[in-house]
Amino acid sequence: MRKGAYSLLKGTFLVSDDSFKNWRIIVFVSFLAFIMIASSHSADRKVHEIARLGDEVKELRSAFVDGRSRLMRVKMESSIVKKMLNKGLVPSEIPPRKIKVKIKN
């Protein structure tokens, strides 16, 4: 056990006669580690993108609600009457009447 640990620390398994199979495993494990790290970075990038898009959706939704509420206030009859008073137009005192047109053959 002690001799195996000492040879591991010295690195003799990399320079011995059977070192080719050890190097293949080391390269394979290094390649897998590289792929794992790249995959992790890709997942983190996607998570940040999703969070950014979520914030953008919240901002756009609040802008939509704000615009809709301003439109409702502008469309109210009282606000239209106030704006028309500034231009000299007043609402009619006489209610509208329905006009019926009779066509004669």
13 Cβ contact partners less than 8 Å away, ≥ 6 residues apart: 7, 19, 22
4 Cβ contact partners less than 8 Å away, ≥ 6 residues apart: none
74 Cβ contact partners less than 8 Å away, ≥ 6 residues apart: 80
DSSP label of 88? T
Q: CA–CA separation, 60 vs 85, rounded Å? A: 35
Q: CA–CA separation, 77 vs 96, rounded Å? A: 16
What's the average pLDDT block by block, 10 residues per block, for the chain (105 residues)?
74 72 86 98 98 98 97 90 88 89 86
- Predicted pLDDT of residue 24: 84
The tokens for 9 are 């620390």
pTM of this prediction?
0.56
